[in-house]
Amino acid sequence: MLGFLLICGTALVLLIMWLDAFVSMMAMRDDEFPGRHDKLCWALAFIFLTFVGAIAFYLWRKVMYDPSRRTAAHPQSPTSTTPSQTISA
């Protein structure tokens, strides 16, 4: 019985880790990956290599992904004015 619970617990942890990595990868924009088809390659690695792909993505994200690129390349608040902000004479 203890062995069954250990196996189920391990499978649950691995499934949560896989889902977290997959959702994280899908939430990233295409231009945040170094290559043109890297997001597709990662998605295929997640599907066909399952947990190995998730672990590889965690390692890649920790070493290669620079979150400062996200805010520098795409600012959160636009600086342009909208028509409602313009003053008419």
Task: Give how many domains the chain has, as a whole number.
Answer: 1
Residues 6+ apart with CB under 8 A from 59: none
- Kindly report the pTM of this predicted structure: 0.64
Note the pLDDT of residue 85: 58
pLDDT in tens, the chain (89 residues): 888 999 999 999 999 999 999 999 999 888 888 888 999 999 999 999 988 999 999 898 888 866 665 554 455 544 555 555 556 55
Note the pLDDT of residue 77: 47
Question: Is 6 a domain residue?
Answer: yes
Question: Is 70 a domain residue?
Answer: no
Question: Is 89 a domain residue?
Answer: no
Q: Tell me the two tokens of residue 23.
A: 């959702």
Q: What span, in angstroms and rounded, lies between the C-alpha atoms of 54 and 41? A: 12
Range of the structural domain that residue 20 is part of = 2-65
Closest to 28 (Cα-Cα) out of 12, 39, 17: 39
